[in-house]
Amino acid sequence: MNIVTAIDSMKGSLSSIEANQIIAKVFTEQRHMVKEVAIADGGEGTVAAIVKNGDGQKIETKIHALNGELIKVEFGWFHSEKIAVIESAAASGIQYLDGTTATHPLNTSSYGTGELILAAIDQGAQEIVIGLGGTGTVDGGIGLLRALGVEFFDKKNQLLPAKGSSLEKVAYFSSEHLDPRLSGISFHIASDVTSPLLGETGAVYMFGRQKGLAENELDKYECGMKNYQKRMCEMNESVAGDGAAGGLGFAIRVFLKGNVHSGFQFISKQTDLEEAIKHADLVITGEGKMDDQSLQGKVPVGIGGIAKKYQVPVIAFVGSFNGDQKLFYEKGISVIIPIVDRITTLEEAMNEAKINLQMAASRTLDLLTLIKK
């Protein structure tokens, strides 16, 4: 068989590159041809995928995580094109949440993602691709903008801190101290979801709970986000992608004039993924957790859509699945295979992701071989 494997990273367990290598090893040992494509949707793994596919390099820098802790992260760099690739998950990622008051959305900030933009500019970037996804913040980008020099004030003219609790208090902002270098740079948003900023599928109601908001906090937090939007652009626009990364999509689009792209489509175009799928007998994809949010533009659904055009079957290996399989079948995913085959803790499942994926792939290959006989 001619197989294309393009598995998204499984957060905290396997990168896209590692997952593809496992699949390739299992299938090539039985003399199948496998094309590995490093893939991402704007979230964790975006920099690694784009750097690998485009033969770039990684630059290390120090920035602040969503809780204010100083950390080391990397961004992608293509010297000849003067293009930098950063991902919000590196600085403002959900991996930094610990369930304490300090990492509650009211107290966290996307400031570090703004620092990553500044680091890319210091490197000489003329074009910056920002992968949005996998964040633990819901601050509408107020932190990112503060890092770039934008100041936010309340109705008493007091300077507000750059965190989620300030959203409801913003009365006006000043861009007097905005970094002047930003005006000469093109920004591209690679988003992992198509959610608007507000509403049932927006940054608060759709993603707030997984980032620490309690059910009884959602309405008040949404009002704060609504106030922030009004102060920023004085209109109630509903634009796809604005709700990505806790509202970072909104801030970058409105203030930095960022061009919005599907993160998956951006990378699949870079790798000519559709052409590879067109000539494949089987496509293998997957992600750590597949649920209804995956239908908003995640990697497996995007791959399923391409494969469906060419009637190529798709197998999705996942760490866990919670959803209606019919909906995913309609999106082109033929079968969803959870890789965990026994009762286990989340920690164990993540630590054993490599062997679990390998075993699931081997069993699947045995079934496919049996069918062919």
Which positions ≥6 away from 355 have C-beta within 8 Å?
Answer: none
Reported as half-sphere exposure (CB side, CA atoms, 13 A), residue 252 has a value of 33
Q: So what's the pLDDT on residue 82? A: 96
Q: So what's the pLDDT on residue 373? A: 59
Name all domains of the chain by residue range, CATH numbers in brackets.
2-37+272-372 (3.40.50.10350), 46-264 (3.90.1510.10)
Q: So what's the pLDDT on residue 297? A: 65
Q: So what's the pLDDT on residue 16? A: 92
CA distance 346 to 356: 13
From residue 249, give the alpha-carbon distance in Å to each of 43, 142, 160, 262: 12, 11, 21, 11
CA distance 319 to 14: 11
DSSP H or E segment with residue 338: strand 335-338
CA distance 303 to 359: 23
From residue 311, give the alpha-carbon distance in Å to each of 8, 117, 139, 280, 281: 21, 41, 42, 10, 9
Q: So what's the pLDDT on residue 292? A: 77
- The pTM of the full predicted model, rounded to 2 decimals, is 0.85
CA distance 233 to 252: 12
From residue 37, give the alpha-carbon distance in Å to each of 64, 296, 335, 356: 31, 21, 20, 21
Spans of the chain, pLDDT less than 70: 192, 235, 296-297, 372-373
